Homo-oligomer: A and B are copies of this chain.
């Protein structure tokens, strides 16, 4: 199979990092300049061989996923045009995925046929901490969700990351509870 991307990379090039409270410009970071030897781009069909699943295993359990299963899910996501925006940061010298994050766009009928964004599965390899890669990924997905027309974008995080995410303008909301029912782990 030829290498294909999960979504059209052009949509990333149009992101305006000078918007709002975004601090990427002052750090000289953007999706086109994520740092030396790094490339920020959509997830691609050959990223299974560049350690994408290994990276996710730093975040949570991933189980035993073959390349075939990876590609099946990749293609299903890709067919859901406008829904799955998974970006990765690749070390171009090592051909290795070092960071990733997902924006999922939900279509709604409320709020004048709105779109709602959700940021999920942010992970940065231990080897590239301190290079603001996590910040760049979150800011990129957040600006992308706004650009796509989402009326709001949410994420879930553990207590130690509250301070990190609040810097992007994320807030807990009063009188709002998030409840979960687990069927298996």
Contacts and interface: CB of A to CB of B under 8 A. Distances in A.
Contact of A113 (B69, B153, B184): B69
Given A110-B60, A172-B177, A182 B76 contact: no
B183 A150 contact: yes
Given A150-B183, A152-B180, A183-B152, A106 B109 contact: no
Contacts of A107: 73, 76-77, 80, 84
Interface stretch (A24-32, A34-42, A159-167): A159-167
Main DSSP-derived SS at the A contact region: mixed
Interface residues of A, number: 64
A112 interface: yes
Contacts of A70: 109, 113
Interface string A98-113: 0000001011111111
Contact of A65 (B59, B109, B185): B109
Contacts of A80: 80, 83, 107
Contacts of A108: 120-121
A56 interface: yes
B182 A158 contact: no
B112 A63 contact: yes
A111 B61 contact: yes
B158 A109 contact: no
Interface in A143-185: 145-146, 150-159, 162, 165-166, 168-173, 175-185
A185 B113 CA distance: 12
Contacts of A171: 179-181
A56 B108 CA distance: 11
Interface in A61-97: 61-65, 69-70, 72-73, 76-77, 80, 83-84
Q: Which 4 A-B pairs have the closest CB atoms?
A: A63-B112, A178-B178, A170-B179, A152-B182
